[in-house]
Amino acid sequence: MRVRAWAEELRTRVTGVDPGLTRLALAGVATASMVLAAGVMSAVRLLTGQAVTVVLFAAVLAMISNLAVNEPDLGRRRVTTALMLLPAAGSIALGTLLASNRIVGDVVFVAVMMAAVWIRRYGPRGFALGMAMFMPYFFTQFLQAKPAQLPWLMLAAAVGIGSTLLLRCYLFAEDPDKVLQRLLRAFRAHVHAVTTAVIDVLEAPADDRRAIEAALRDVHDRRVRLNDTALLLVDRLERRRDARADDEDTPDDPEIERLDVDVLDVELATERLAVSTRRLADDPEREGPLDPEVRRRLVAGVRGIGAATTTGTPPALREALLAGARRSVTPLTAESSGEQRDRAQRVAFAVTRLTDALDAARVAADVEVQAGHRGAPTEEPEEAAKDQDDGPDDDPADDTDGTGDRGLALTTRQAIQVGVATSLAIVVGELVSPARWYWAVVAAFVMFAGTASRGDVLARGWQRLVGTVGGVVAGMLLAFLVGGHFVVTLVLLFVCVFLALYLLRISQGLMAFWITAVLALLYGLIGQFSVETLVLRVEETAVGGALGALAGFLVLPKKTRTAFVEAFDDTVDAIDDVLCAAADAITGRPPAAPPVELAREMDDRLGTLRQRAKPLDSPLPWRRGRGGYQRAVRVLTAVDHYARALARLSDRIVAPGWAVTLDPAMDRVRANIDGLRELFDGAEDPAEVRPAEQLVDAADAWAARTDDPSLRPALLAVVRVLRRIDQIVVRLDQDLRGSRGEDELAVSPGGGSEAR
């Protein structure tokens, strides 16, 4: 029995590691594409006697075409992948013809890299085509290609890109319904993870503050992962709903239609449990340990929820476990004796709320998603990837193309920075090593993928350098262990490639670690392995990183805080658009655009804001005041979550008579959000943020008295969402102005705020 419980717990943890298995699918298909391309070109090489470089060329282009194409729609993904062959062929021809003229070739190389960055302004397709320009040209210079090799290099490019097109876009094109099922399981797994962390807090000795703090940090980290998964799941549900709406022959599925509401409710209830537990652990009025009976009941309730959310738990058993969890805390929720158990009772209420949310969502969460709709399968949304990824498949083209009052567009500024950085990298890299200068150029180029400020560039360069140093050590160890064993080396090489691709969306440092290990094995395979070569890899990477950072700091620099404030302004604007459109739709006025469409733009802006905040959360000792930025991100994440719920509610509510009380409440909430903008913009006299409580109460009273009883629950849901938005915005304003009181800000990274 204990072994079975351990196995189920392990299965649950594994389920939540990679929500939807999207990283696994990307790494697996990319590795398979490389193997296929290398296999085909190896056969061509045996028949024609070409150099081994054509095999490597095909494999690299197979990898790049997988990583660079980030289109969410299958049809667009196929077109973009196929289109990559055009700039690749042009770069191959140009690079091959100029390979013998080093000076001209280097000048054109810099121009190609600048163009590859500038074209990112055209979105995911522009990013992919830019990478298709850069990588083939780079390899022709690196390999010193001869005109006689041109046909074979063209064939290698076609094989590499074709392998990706065949495997990723046809044979292994993902089934969106299966991805949705995996995301649902991952979401429940993360709910389970939060509950187990809460148990650790409750069971920690009252006198062991270090253990309590460690457990609370674990709760926070798991809440972040829960939010990430919830955002992926809701976005997937919205895309699936849109795909089904485009197919007139596919009937609506009411169970699927309510899933996003269920997900929001469960996430907020989980957040309430986490916040209530934190406050209980930090209760300054509590003396000594928690009453043993109270602790036992709370732990039993949370443990019951954990068991109910374990992956593979049958629906009937889940229902019984939730009922048992509810019964465990009933004596605490019913207590009214006035004893000093206020915060413990709030944890009990949170347990009850979460069991109710899970129970209400049980049928929807377990429903089998039926395939067969004609909407195009979708892959992981780009915005969701942005929360975890700085890698070369990220699309940083989120700034406007015009100049406006922000100066040059991001892509134009970065193109100039890349031109300066890579020009210097070519010169200095050749001084370090005439044979390995290209490592410095690559390091300088990739530093500007997914970056927008000086802090971004510095963080990326530091990660790559640390990862490269670690990869050198690991690569030398692997090369010494398997030296002379061709098959073992080949297997390990593809394993390292897989790990590099799998970890790309998590950390640039980890990717650099495994790519460096790949190089060590590759050099061992072709008989060129040496410790000096790998040390040179570190030196060239450091040179490229340093020159990239130098260009980022001196050439058209963008301060990290400035980039953050710009993204903050954009996010506030997008939130305001959603709230305004939702109010118009609810009160029967024609909105400027459908609220749900505006909500997607809001999600994109929030993803950009999160990217901009990462350098501000750096642990470097000179980074001051980072807590305020991170709290702002958490609050706007919460507002984004509620605003999406409001946009969805506005699709099915029309109450023109409500405008009299709803509009003033909505206007005050919007004004409060705009007040945060002034606070972050550094205004000398920022507008006062005044709670909209009374105005929201008036809207609530109108909704409660509506003549249509079927409409009343939806109207009250709108009020509840609006009230939450106002509460968390007002709390952040108080916090940033230094007026934090006893009601401490407690906003989930996943979109919840609980008043004490």
Q: How many CB atoms are located within 10 Å of the residue 655 CB? A: 18
* DSSP secondary structure, 343-379, as one string: HHHHHHHHHHHHHHHHHHTHHHHHPPPP----SPPB-
**What's 565-577 look like in SS3?**
HHHHHHHHHHHHH
Across the strands, what pairs with 257? none
Where helices occur in 18-98 by DSSP H, the ranges are 22-48, 53-68, 74-83, 85-98
At residue 76, what is the residue type? Answer: R
* DSSP secondary structure, 471-485, as one string: HHHHHHHHHHHHTT-
Across the strands, what pairs with 73? 378
407 in the same domain as 362: no
User: What size, in residues, is the chain?
Assistant: 756
How many helical (H) and strand (E) elements, i.e. helices and strands, does the chain have? 29, 0
Structural domain contains residue 381: no
Question: How far apart, in whole angstroms, are the C-alpha atoms of residue 138 and residue 422?
Answer: 12
Measured over the CA atoms of residue 315, residue 320, residue 322 and residue 323, the dihedral's sign is: positive
Residue 387 pLDDT exceeds 90: no
What is the average pLDDT across 199-218? 88
57 in the same domain as 29: yes
Tokens linked to 188: 């429940």
Q: What is the pLDDT at residue 336?
A: 62
Structural domain contains residue 754: no
Question: How far apart, in whole angstroms, are the C-alpha atoms of residue 245 and residue 232?
Answer: 20
Report long-range pairs for 682-686 (Cβ below 8 Å, ≥24 apart): none
Structural domain contains residue 728: yes
Tokens linked to 682: 């550094």
At residue 114, what is the residue type? Answer: M
Between the ranges 2-11, 306-315, 559-568, where is the mean pLDDT highest?
A: 306-315
B/e letters for 715-745, b = 16+ CB within 10 Å, e = fewer, are bebbbbbbbbbbbbbbbbbbbbeeeeeeeeb
* DSSP secondary structure, 591-651, as one string: PSS-HHHHHHHHHHHHHHHHHHHTGGG---TT--SHHHHHHHHHHHHHHHHHHHHHHHHHT
Structural domain contains residue 433: yes
Of the listed ranges 65-69, 92-96, 357-361, 377-381, the least confidently predicted one is: 377-381
228 in the same domain as 169: no
Angle between helices 259-281 and 176-203 (to 10 degrees): 20
Structural domain contains residue 90: yes
Question: How far apart, in whole angstroms, are the C-alpha atoms of residue 730 and residue 245?
Answer: 38
Which residues are CB-contacts of 137 (< 8 A; sequence separation ≥ 6)? Answer: 91, 92, 94, 95, 108, 109, 112
Question: How far apart, in whole angstroms, are the C-alpha atoms of residue 137 and residue 414?
Answer: 20
Domain extent for 432: 396-558
Are the beta carbons of 554 and 440 closer than 8 angstroms? no
Question: How far apart, in whole angstroms, are the C-alpha atoms of residue 436 and residue 441?
Answer: 10
Angle between helices 259-281 and 626-650 (to 10 degrees): 150
Does residue 393 or residue 567 have the better pLDDT?
567
Confidence of residue 451 (pLDDT cuts 50, 70, 90): low
Q: What is the DSSP letter of 284?
A: T
Structural domain contains residue 101: yes
The total number of structural domains in the chain stands at 4
Residue 31 pLDDT exceeds 90: yes
Tokens linked to 455: 């802090």
Of the listed ranges 73-82, 345-354, 527-536, 689-698, the least confidently predicted one is: 527-536
Tokens linked to 339: 């004893």
3-state class (DSSP) for residue 70:
coil
640 in the same domain as 501: no
Residue 389 pLDDT exceeds 60: no
Structural domain contains residue 166: yes
Q: Looking at 116, 150, 173, which one is the last position of a domain?
A: 173
3-state class (DSSP) for residue 458:
helix
Q: What is the DSSP letter of 380?
A: S
Does residue 238 or residue 474 have the better pLDDT?
474
Tokens linked to 92: 């191959």
Q: Looking at 530, 558, 586, which one is the last position of a domain?
A: 558
Backbone angles phi, psi at 378, to 5 degrees: -120, 155
Question: How far apart, in whole angstroms, are the C-alpha atoms of residue 375 and residue 398?
Answer: 27
Confidence of residue 125 (pLDDT cuts 50, 70, 90): very high
Q: What is the pLDDT at residue 75?
A: 85
What is the average pLDDT across 206-232? 84
At residue 384, what is the residue type? Answer: A
488 in the same domain as 412: yes
Q: Looking at 143, 173, 203, which one is the last position of a domain?
A: 173
3-state class (DSSP) for residue 747:
strand
Q: How many CB atoms are located within 10 Å of the residue 481 CB? A: 11
Q: What is the DSSP letter of 447?
A: T
Q: What is the pLDDT at residue 619?
A: 43
Confidence of residue 625 (pLDDT cuts 50, 70, 90): very low
277 in the same domain as 211: yes
Q: What is the pLDDT at residue 200?
A: 92
Residue pointed to by tokens 């008043």: 755
Q: Euclidean distance between the first and final Cα of the chain, in Å?
A: 40
Of the listed ranges 72-81, 262-271, 700-709, the least confidently predicted one is: 262-271
Q: What is the pLDDT at residue 176?
A: 75
651 in the same domain as 550: no
Q: How many CB atoms are located within 10 Å of the residue 421 CB? A: 31
Question: How far apart, in whole angstroms, are the C-alpha atoms of residue 55 and residue 58?
Answer: 5
Exposed, middle or buried, 330 (CB in 10 Å: 0-12/13-18/19+)?
middle
181 in the same domain as 32: no
Does residue 202 or residue 180 have the better pLDDT?
202
Question: How far apart, in whole angstroms, are the C-alpha atoms of residue 360 and residue 78?
Answer: 40
Measured over the CA atoms of residue 366, residue 370, residue 371 and residue 374, the dihedral's sign is: negative
325 in the same domain as 230: yes
Are the beta carbons of 609 and 633 closer than 8 angstroms? yes
Q: What is the DSSP letter of 73?
A: B
Measured over the CA atoms of residue 660, residue 663, residue 669 and residue 672, the dihedral's sign is: negative
Q: What is the pLDDT at residue 128?
A: 93
249 in the same domain as 231: yes
Of the listed ranges 118-132, 137-151, 366-380, the least confidently predicted one is: 366-380
Read off the pLDDT of residues 360-379 as tens digits, 9 standing for 90 and up: 775 444 444 444 333 333 33
Are the beta carbons of 462 and 451 closer than 8 angstroms? no
Q: CATH number of the domain at 647, please.
A: 1.20.58
685 in the same domain as 609: yes
Confidence of residue 565 (pLDDT cuts 50, 70, 90): confident
Question: How far apart, in whole angstroms, are the C-alpha atoms of residue 420 and residue 68?
Answer: 24
Structural domain contains residue 30: yes
Are the beta carbons of 731 and 742 closer than 8 angstroms? no
Task: Report the chain's mean pLDDT, rounded to a whole number.
Answer: 79
Which residues are CB-contacts of 270 (< 8 A; sequence separation ≥ 6)? Answer: 191, 194, 195, 223, 226, 354
630 in the same domain as 510: no
Q: What is the pLDDT at residue 729?
A: 85
